[in-house]
Amino acid sequence: MFEAGDSTTMAEAMIPSFWPEPAAFLEISPLDQVTDGKARCTGLAICDADGRASSIFSQGELAHFFYEFEVLDPLPVPSGGLEFRNADGLVIHGKSSFQQDAGLPLSVEAGQRVRVHHVIHLDVAEGNYDIALGFASVHAESYRSYASGAIGKEPFAPDVHCRTGNVASFTVRLQGHGKRVHHGVANLDGASRLTLVRASGRTASPAKQADDVIPALVHVTHWKAGSQWIFRILKQCAPDRIVEPTPSQSQFLHSPIRRGRIYPTVYVPKPAFDRARCPPGTRHFVVIRDLRDTLVSAYFSFKISHPRLTEEFAVLRSTLQQLSQEDGLLYLLQQWLHLCADIQLTWKEAGEAMIRYEDLLGHDVEILEKVLLADMALPLDRERLGQAIRANRFEAFTGRALGTQELTAHERVGAPGDWRNHFTDRLKDAFKIRYGGLLVATGYEPDLDW
């Protein structure tokens, strides 16, 4: 059906006349997507080089993705997109028609279906990958300017009409000979050459030697658990040692961990931490928060105050703004809170000591001096650390008393127990069913009678 092999170009792999039979398509449930009512995803098929439905590929093989969207309102230039993530949630690859197809129609009518045939060379590490799809449109003039290079990413702002969650997955395995063709996430084109030269006899600088003696420090936590508060304290005390966090956690998960450096706000469960390339002696501390307050904090942040980072986040914000507060909290409970719960659960199951955000609020100097100076052995000045802690307390940083709400601020309220102001009986019941046991295990409740 398709031409396969390393010599096949993407253009040769594309066969415009081919579209899989209905039986090859996976069902896309309305529960798997968020839409503004102007378009919806109607199907996804994954095929191998012979045109057969498949979910297992060898490294380097071509995979053919066919996905379709039904357009419900007239729209300007349409674009379909696909991305896939590995088991750690890192986006390994993502592209849309805006980035690949120069011949897009300038409009699409209501009732039409937009079909995308997307071919990807799977030069990636072996493992399982989750697939998400999206559909967007943009006015023709903006599209022409973007396609010609007259404008870049920032001015080019398509409207996202449909975004799916992880609607399907596929597996990449080693080739038949069992050897890895590369290490790491992706196989990039390149070349290397090895030569020998006589050693120069130069040694590392004294500053570098000193850093090599100091262990790396990792601040493990989850979202909405005071991570930015701790980040500000660490950065004020040791700005030259900070490794800036990234949304994908790539600074920790996919780069060598360096001695003498501080890695704040690392959102990883214990198994992912154990897979990271930490040098011997690396030290860490774990901060958690009551998952009920975590949920409420995330709700107001995602809906109102958090800066928009991605198209996916924009769709999430739009969804929350269309739902009642109770339904919005239930939506995040079902679709997002598991990311924080997994971090708490895996570190708890590993028998690790965890610092509670709520305890830090009342004893920040005492706890952080012990953790950072005694336990972590960071070469920080005690007086400077104390000044940084006091300067970054909620009251000093925001100018408001702890517990005073400011809906549009990232530091909205800060005080523990705010969940009581927002949990309905329906939300309580749903929370207890899913996370009641973890709440007891982490010491936030003695039982489920709350």
Cα–Cα dist 222/220, whole Å: 7
Spatial contact of 185 and 254, defined as CB atoms under 8 Å apart:
yes
Cα–Cα dist 79/90, whole Å: 23
Predicted confidence (pLDDT) per residue in 162-180, tens digit: 988 778 888 898 887 667 7
Encoded tokens for 16: 């415009």
Using 50, 70 and 90 to split pLDDT, how confident is the model at 7? very low
Encoded tokens for 135: 């559909």
56-58 and 168-173 as β-strands: parallel, antiparallel, unpaired?
parallel
- pLDDT for 47: 92
For the chain, what are the domain ranges? 10-173, 207-441
Encoded tokens for 59: 């490294």
Cα–Cα dist 20/423, whole Å: 47
CATH number of 10-173: 2.70.50.60
Using 50, 70 and 90 to split pLDDT, how confident is the model at 157? confident
Spatial contact of 332 and 341, defined as CB atoms under 8 Å apart:
no
Same fold, 10-173 and 207-441: no
Q: Indicate the average pLDDT of the chain.
A: 85
Predicted confidence (pLDDT) per residue in 405-422, tens digit: 665 555 556 678 999 999
Q: Is the dihedral of CA 183, 184, 187, 190 positive or negative?
A: negative
| pTM, 2 dp | 0.56
At 104, phi and psi to the nearest 5?
-75, 145
Predicted confidence (pLDDT) per residue in 208-256, tens digit: 445 556 889 999 999 999 999 999 999 999 999 999 988 888 899 988 8
Angle between helices 291-300 and 425-441 (to 10 degrees): 130
Among 103-107, 397-401, 431-435, where is mean pLDDT lowest?
397-401
At 377, phi and psi to the nearest 5?
55, 40
Beta strands in 165-282 (DSSP E): 168-173, 217-220, 262-266
Using 50, 70 and 90 to split pLDDT, how confident is the model at 377? confident
Whether the per-residue pLDDT at 67 is higher than 80: the answer is yes
List for the chain the helix, strand, coil content (%; round to 5): 35, 20, 45
Cα–Cα dist 331/407, whole Å: 20
Amino acid, single-letter form, for residue 411: E
State which CATH number among 3.40.50.300, 3.40.50.2000, 1.25.40.10, 3.40.50.1100 fits the domain covering 207-441: 3.40.50.300
Question: What are the residue ranges of helices labelled H in 254-310?
Answer: 270-275, 291-300
Predicted confidence (pLDDT) per residue in 74-91, tens digit: 999 999 999 998 887 788
127-138 and 168-173 as β-strands: parallel, antiparallel, unpaired?
antiparallel
Amino acid, single-letter form, for residue 2: F
56-58 and 217-220 as β-strands: parallel, antiparallel, unpaired?
unpaired
Cα–Cα dist 360/358, whole Å: 5
- pLDDT for 167: 81
Q: Nearest-CA neighbor of 117 among 1, 204, 202?
A: 1
